[in-house]
Structure 1
Amino acid sequence: MRFVQAALAFAVVALQVAATPVKRAASGDAGYVDPSLDGGSMLTIVPGSKTRIGEPINVIISNQSDPWVLTDYGFTNYSRSLNFQSGDVLTVTYASNQRANLGDGYGSRIQAGIQRYNDSIQEALNGGNHFRYWFQRGKNANTGAVFIAASVEKSKDENHMIVDNGYDLGRDQLVGNATAGTTTDKLGNEYQTTVEWNDSLFKKIKTSQINHNISVDGRVAVLTVKVTKSVSTDGKGSVNTQSSSSRRAAMVPMTITLIIGFVLALISLV
């Protein structure tokens, strides 16, 4: 009898755990942690700069987004749905790698990648919209949020200088593409993106600290991306037409059913 009672107690706890939503790491309601809270910055670090000169990190993919989007493979495919391609062309990156400190405990680290709009080779040669990105995954702020530095640059012959108002333009073009409606990647996954604006993350940053001394309006676009149709989100090409939120929801009653069945089986043995 004591064994049955213990099994029932275990079942109650397991049911409570199964019904409790998983909490994301230390990010509050914002979906990210402000890098400046732990020695980081919303400016990148430009190679060779003797003082703190960088490019503004002006877009954040919130960790309230679909978990698939916050993976390396998933984010690459989401970027493709916005008509961006990897900027690493034939193993050559047509720009110096930059670093960023997201205040997550990793310190200053190199960009995770660079994405270029439309045809990556043509953009690298002729200029246009592009962005660098980092994931906030350190032990001090393991949110998984994606931090993006977007801008519009000139051609390779013009040393990829940023156009006038190029940082705000790069951000706005990226956000405009993302929020225009349903976007679809080459795998067939579909996304819906919403935006909220943060006007406080740049309060302590001066124009003189920004690369090329280009002023910005100080706004950061915080995007939340939901997968509305999932054809392949495991990186292996398997087909699943449920959204990830539907899959998570479906797992809870299945777990509960298995636990109840286990308990009833134990009782029948006593």
Structure 2
Amino acid sequence: MKIISSPLELKNYLKNYNCSVGFVPTMGALHEGHISLIKKAKEQNDLVIVSIFLNPTQFLKDEDLDKYPKKDEADKKLCQLSGVDVLFFPHVDDIYAEDEVSVLAPKVRGYVLEGSSRPGHFNGVLTVVIKLLNIVNPTRAYFGKKDAQQLNLISLMVKQFFMSVEIVAVDTVREKDGLALSSRNAYLTPSQREEALKIASSLRNATVMVTRGVLDAKEIISGMREILSPLHIFYVEILNRDFNQLAHIEIGNTIILVEVKVGTTRLLDNIWL
């Protein structure tokens, strides 16, 4: 595995390859969810590149940038064991300049759900993603379905900016008890982790309701909120794949999304129906 930190060096290195390139952008603190992205990239491409870059522009003031989990050496080993060909490990100064051109999230889709309580967050996400995609110029880039809003906005950006990369959505990986894997799970105490299981429980309940023929969005959301109580709920929403609200479940075109705070940790999850 080759480790490269300079964007120019990576671009020059890739000139030697005329093959399909799979790209997995991450912020580090890698877990099985990231490994699933790498595996999918390896299945579909000749060359696999992973980036580890803790992007400061997507963190708002007083958020957890300074305490975000960092496991650089473990991450490098994990990438090597997973068969990654190139690890892109840039510094902040490699990616950002003082007087920055930035990408703005859509005025509607970028400021609902997570964007409502974190205004400007998705500006930072889209800006760093377009930079990374332009550096790597991959055939395909891989993102997890757990961050459904992020996935939707990145796909929208790629479409509206006429970019040639294919965005591949990969299913959420969970612990045996149902908790969706997240680097931020490391913040949870044992008792908080137990409380966090209410998230997966609420989504399972929604699935059971749908299988029993309950398709009314308000009824499903009400049942989920009962299970999530007394956690601080940022939102429970039922949307279609274009992120428009639904009054009734549409099988094959529905995402049920939830975001809560457990202790001081924000956790989000969803199911695709």
Give 1 or 2: higher helix fraction: 2
- Structure whose alpha-carbon radius of gyration is higher: 1
Fold match (TM-score > 0.5)? no
What's the TM-score bracket when you normalise by the shorter of the two chains?
Answer: under 0.3
The TM-score, its normalising length taken from structure 1, stands at 0.27
Scaled by the length of structure 2, the TM-score of the pair is: 0.26
Higher relative contact order (CA closer than 8 Å, sequence separation 6+): 1
